[in-house]
Structure 1
Amino acid sequence: MSSVEAAALPALNLVGKLAQSFGVNEAALRLLLSIFAGYAFAIIYRKYVTFQHNKQLHHLYFVICGLLICLFNFGVDTYHSLIAITTTYVLARLLRGSPREFKILNFVFHMSYLLVGYYYTESDEYDILWTMPHCVLVLRLIGFGFDLADGLKEQDKLSKEQKESALAELPSPLELFAFAYLPCSFLIGPQFPYRRYKSFIEGEFKQHDGNMEAGLKRMSVGFVYLIVSQIGAVYFPNSYFLSDEYTQVSYFWRLAYLGVWAKVAIYKYVACWLLTEGALIMLGISYAGKKENGEHDWSGCSNVNLIILETGYTMQHYVHSFNINTNQWLGQYVYKRLKFLNNRTISYAAALGFLAVWHGFHSGYYMAFLNEYMTVTVEKQFASVWAKTNIDMYADIVSPPFVYPALKYFVQKLYDLFVIGWCMTPFILLSYSRWMKAYSAVNYFVLIGVIVWTIFYQTYKYYARAAKRREQDSTFGRATTLSPTINADAHDKRD
């Protein structure tokens, strides 16, 4: 029973009518209501459950709440998550003495199941179906599998990250289901290891105060981003960038509109993550220690860094500030475990490839992550070349002194606006024919720029190496001429 089928039932038809009256998608409304339900579940937990000494009640509470949310959104399709969690537990139980085989089978099963789900459900639009929370669950269970396998290794063979998340014992089925179905994070994340959940249940974060106020603040900021994203979607619908009207706009404004549209799409995700994070903070699971000023830090489950996101000006800033937990998961369980390749570039490309496959089969996902790879690479190359020019050293001659940094930052933010528009276009439009049409409207400017830059950079490196060799030869020649020792040896050999 999907959400559409669920709406046919008298008890659930209210949501469908409400969505129709507001002119919004019913599945999206159910998702939003479920996110807000997380606050109610968090308050109830803090008031009635958190002080219960029987930890089984805590786990049971989270399982029931998570299942209710899943049933409310996806009906009988809830069985997919039940199968996933049960399979991981059975594999862990049967292969406890074979951690390598367990990791491989656990990984292959979950990725295969997810991809088959994508194959039968994907369309050319973003659909809120059972595959949406399932992709979150897949990462959670794969990470759990790695942590469980790491728990059987010798401590000196583990990295600091692996030591912090490794599991020496297999949790009970109820504990695993509670971890997977935690209501405030089941639908859209964020990712966090089982060790954090265990610390939370055991009361390690309970004595710290301020979580209610911090959660409300995060929720308020999430509201602002939600409103901005909804207003932006009205002025910049996806269809506009596939229309003839868009191609008639001046080239500069085509690039600018594309960037604003991408920002609006990003804000939709940011809003959902902030609202979810607020509920997790209220729940009390996101404690991250103390700040330098002595205040409690509740950013342990934060999926976005707003300061970097809003003030940054490179693709690397987006990587470090957007979908933080998923990127950390990718780094810990994919990128760093490819060290045996002994090549960071290949490991990075493989990690992005995994992320693209995890999102689905649409070509837009693969192009989006290829864009990330290309732009991050070019940015690093450009930064190295720029540093050698020493142009920034002459900034003092510009008067008044704030003009140069202000002008530089303006250019950087303009670059940020234009490039994020390019990078996000395939991620939003998904199908090849659609994102290629949008790309043609802006004359493939980033692709051409990357090609031109690559030619320049390789030429620059060639001549830089040649100049360095000439300098080394010249230095050696002078040393030969000026060194009495070398000259004496040479004279002796001639004699």
Structure 2
Amino acid sequence: MDALFTPLAGALGASVDQVKLIVCLLIAYPLGSVFIRIPSSRPELKHLFNVGITLLFFFPVLQLYTEFFQLLASVLATYVLARYHHGSQMPWIVFVIVMGHLTVNHVIRAVYQYSYEKLEVTGPQMVLTMKLTTFAWNVYDGRRPAADLDKWQTAKRVTKFPTLLEFLGYSFYFPGMLVGPYLDYADYTDLINETVFKKLEIKGKKGRNVPVGRKRVAYRKMLEGLMYLGVFVTLGSTWNYGISLTPWFAEKGFFTRVAVYQICGVFERSKYYAIWTLTEGASILTGLGFTGIGPSGETLWNGAANVKVLVIEFPENFKVLLDAWNMKTNVWLRECVYKRVTPAGKKPGFRSSMITFATSAFWHGIALGYYLTFLTGGFITTIGRLARANIRPLVLGAPGTPPTLAKRAYDIAGTVISILLLNYAASPFMLLSAKASFWTWWQLGFYGHGIIGVSMAFFYLGGARWCKSLQYKQAGKLTRGISMVGTPVEEKQLMVPPSLDQIVPPQK
């Protein structure tokens, strides 16, 4: 079938594999409309449809024959282990096997020096790794007492083990097979059985349970994805992080280099916006992602989103930015790594954060650039948490009052610093090699490390203690004001408030 794609690739100036990937993502749209028309009373047909379309993608279109059987091996190994191993180590065994298999293929990719333009097994395998390891934890949680589980674990636990056909349908769910989004098994069964739609007790067209508005949202996502793709094709090939390695960049002044790098970051990210938005739309057409009815009676389809573009480009802080980027992967890392490596009865801290960032780097590949990015990201997350705990309460006004001038300045500073740190920390992720990464950071004056170093020195060398004392003084003044119009408050209570949150509730 390459004869069909080669002329199109030449016209667009892209590789044949890139064109094939986009074509598969677009084909998933009409196929999604076919999928949702299969009645929920015939779930086996929906499972077979998922497997059949995935085979269509991998065999005649992408020509990834052995790659598919590699993925099938991981699926079957997970199925057998989760079904017959009832010990507490089962999820970790699955994690090691599936991640180990992925890492082997990452090594092969590095040895053969495959470029991003070549489509091979690691992309789909990264998505499948999230699915399989999440499933293992869901099965493990289904065997634990309900009292030991948190809200997410209770909602996602698997108490009835699936048949092999059900598990294959889940593993090879076609809209998200190549680049995501990944979904957990509970969401998949709800999709197959149309559980969420049936709870609404409303009827869509022709008496079906599916509410209206799905196609409108889905095809709008398709247009958005194609727009981002056009931006990347026309501008991303020139304005990207690799510009830091050119003589032109080195000749510019420091502030010009920093400004240009922020612009390049937007175009660098556009390719991810494109593929994730395209797959979101195709998933919506299958019925995935329904989140309820809006205030005006419109249907909402936000559950399949993997990225929030405006939040990323204009974030309030770095935490908000991370939560809006690769959202499904964030859920996986939080629920299957961050919480699981934290000892029972303790809150996750710096150790859990660094293990989680290391896992994310390991999942992405073996290039040193990944580890530089996520190691830096761990420190950025730490200083962000310290700032929210120590500085942010000082600029909040009284409950119910408009944001103070200090709060507005804090938010603007948070947006600017978050974008600066994002483009600084993300550059090794795209440049991959340590040499290119450190050269880029040198060209940027190591400003990101400067921000991190100054911030950590401030908080750990007395700044946090000083901020806390100001918080107590501020809270005490507020309490005195309340006591003047309410019941008297003893002086001892004013000196050390029992809880700052009781006096100044968290505000946005």
Instruction: Give TM-score scaled by structure 2 length.
Output: 0.82
Conserved in 2, the CA contact under 8 Å of 1:136 and 1:187?
A: yes
Structure 2 residue runs of 5 or longer lacking an equivalent are: 198-208, 474-490, 493-508
Same amino acid, percent of matched pairs = 23
- CA distance 1:151–1:420, change in 2 (3 Å): same
Does residue 441 of the first structure (1) align with residue 431 of the second (2)?
no
* Cα RMSD after superposing both structures: 2.9
TM-superposition CA deviations, 1:278-328 (whole Å, max 9, x none): 111111122122334443221111111234224314321211111111101
Equivalent in 178, 186, 192 of residue 187 of structure 1: 178
Structure 1 residue runs of 5 or longer lacking an equivalent are: 1-10, 472-477, 480-495
Task: Give 1:346's aligned amino acid.
Answer: R
Does residue 75 of the first structure (1) align with residue 64 of the second (2)?
yes
Equivalent in 49, 53, 56 of residue 41 of structure 2: 53
Equivalent positions of 1:192-271 (< 5 A) are 192-204=183-195, 205=197, 206-271=209-274
Task: Give 1:361's aligned amino acid.
Answer: I
Aligned to 2:496: none
Conserved in 2, the CA contact under 8 Å of 1:147 and 1:167?
A: yes
Aligned to 1:90: 80
Does residue 152 of the first structure (1) align with residue 143 of the second (2)?
yes
Taking the aligned partners of 2:121 and 2:99, their CA distance within structure 1 comes to 15
TM-superposition CA deviations, 1:189-218 (whole Å, max 9, x none): 112211111111112234322111111122
Taking the aligned partners of 1:432 and 1:236, their CA distance within structure 2 comes to 21
Aligned to 1:112: 100
Greater shift, 285-294 or 191-200, is seen at 285-294
Does residue 19 of the first structure (1) align with residue 19 of the second (2)?
no
Conserved in 2, the CA contact under 8 Å of 1:315 and 1:372?
A: no
Equivalent in 350, 367, 371 of residue 366 of structure 1: 371
How far is the alpha carbon of 1:26 from its aligned partner? 1.6
- Structure 2 SS opposite 1:421: helix
Aligned to 1:458: 460
Task: Give 1:53's aligned amino acid.
Answer: S
TM-superposition CA deviations, 1:20-73 (whole Å, max 9, x none): 3322122111111111111021122234xx226322111111110012112222
How far is the alpha carbon of 1:74 from its aligned partner? 4.5
Does residue 354 of the first structure (1) align with residue 342 of the second (2)?
no
Taking the aligned partners of 1:93 and 1:383, their CA distance within structure 2 comes to 44
Instruction: Give TM-score scaled by structure 1 length.
Output: 0.84
- Structure 2 SS opposite 1:340: coil
Conserved in 1, the CA contact under 8 Å of 2:241 and 2:427?
A: no
Taking the aligned partners of 2:162 and 2:395, their CA distance within structure 1 comes to 57
| Higher helix residue share | 1
Taking the aligned partners of 2:266 and 2:424, their CA distance within structure 1 comes to 11
Equivalent in 361, 377, 384 of residue 379 of structure 1: 384
- CA distance 1:124–1:422, change in 2 (3 Å): farther
Task: Give 1:290's aligned amino acid.
Answer: I
TM-superposition CA deviations, 1:414-435 (whole Å, max 9, x none): 4343222101100110110111
Conserved in 2, the CA contact under 8 Å of 1:42 and 1:283?
A: yes
How far is the alpha carbon of 1:385 from its aligned partner? 4.8
TM-superposition CA deviations, 1:94-152 (whole Å, max 9, x none): 32xx1424323211110111111111112374343111110110110111111112111
Equivalent in 121, 124, 130 of residue 139 of structure 1: 130
Does residue 175 of the first structure (1) align with residue 166 of the second (2)?
yes
Taking the aligned partners of 1:467 and 1:293, their CA distance within structure 2 comes to 47
Aligned to 1:277: 280
Greater shift, 276-285 or 304-313, is seen at 304-313
- CA distance 1:426–1:124, change in 2 (3 Å): farther
Taking the aligned partners of 1:388 and 1:88, their CA distance within structure 2 comes to 46
- CA distance 1:466–1:23, change in 2 (3 Å): closer
Task: Give 1:93's aligned amino acid.
Answer: R
Task: Give 2:256's aligned amino acid.
Answer: W
Conserved in 1, the CA contact under 8 Å of 2:243 and 2:249?
A: yes
How far is the alpha carbon of 1:14 from its aligned partner? 2.2
Taking the aligned partners of 1:53 and 1:465, their CA distance within structure 2 comes to 60
Equivalent in 25, 29, 44 of residue 39 of structure 1: 29
Task: Give 1:145's aligned amino acid.
Answer: A
- CA distance 1:254–1:356, change in 2 (3 Å): same
Aligned to 1:315: 318
Question: Using CA pairs below 8 Å that are at least 6 residues apart, which structure has the higher relative contact order?
Answer: 1
Conserved in 1, the CA contact under 8 Å of 2:241 and 2:261?
A: no
